[in-house]
Structure formats: C-alpha cells, structure tokens
Amino acid sequence: SSRKYASAVTVRKNDVPKIIYEDDEIIVCNKPPGLNTAPGISQKPSLCHFVSEHYGYGPSDLNKMCVHRLDTDTSGVVILARSQQSLKHLHYQFRERRTKKVYECLVACSMSVESGWIDMPLGRDFENPPWMRVITD
C-alpha cells in the first residue's frame, strides 16, 4: 500500500541549531527535529542556511559545506566543512565507514524487554521515498 508522509515535526522559534564545536576546518551543530539539513527544492530554512547566515557565507556555499545529512524529523549532530579540502577528507571518511554513527529511536509498540539493540541493515524505502526502512529481504 502506498502511504503519503508529511513532516511530523515543525521547527519551533526557540529550537534553533546550536553550534557545539568549531575550528578552522569544521563546524559541528546539534540539529533540532523539523529542520532540513541542507536546502532542497522547497527552499525551506535549513541547518546550512543557519550556519551560512551565522558565519556570513554566500548562498553558493550552502551545498558545498554539507558533509552528511540527517532526515528532517531527526535531531542530532551534523558536521559541516569550512573548506573544500575538509569536505573532501570528511566525505572520504564517511564513504569508507571510518566514522562511528550511533542512532537512537523511539519504538511505538509493545516490547518484551525494557531496552536492547536492534542490529539490522537500513536502506531506502522505495515504496515511500525519501523514508528509510529495515532491510529484511
């Protein structure tokens, strides 16, 4: 069955991204839920817009700084590059799986245990883009 999804979260005025680390090569932000990581076709506000305005970068720099993305409804740490050299190096680290990423999620069902690990591969949900799902086949 085909399902239509809309963002379940909206960005609250006081829920702006927080810069948690910066140096000459990178900017690390805590992205709130409901905010796009990078600008899309809709041109809704994004984390990259926020960082661009904060540091005075030009509009053409927005997509050049994004090392990786989080889904709009996902909160978490996002790394942005401050130079092409940093971007290339960080893309390599992510592509080669040299970074460690940890995800936490809420599960909406009855569980037989209070906590635990779900260790299953994730992939694109081709029936419901742009969503991801556990790959079982």
Task: Specify whether 71 is catalytic.
Answer: yes
Instruction: Exactly one of 15, 71, 73, 125 is catalytic; name it.
Output: 71
Residue 66: C-alpha distances to residues 87, 96, 127, 131 (Å): 8, 17, 27, 20
Length of the chain: 137
| Residue 6 CA neighbour count, 13 Å, CB half | 1
Distance, in Å, from the CA atom of 36 to the CA atom of 72, rounded to the nearest integer, reads 5
Q: Which residues are annotated as catalytic?
A: 71
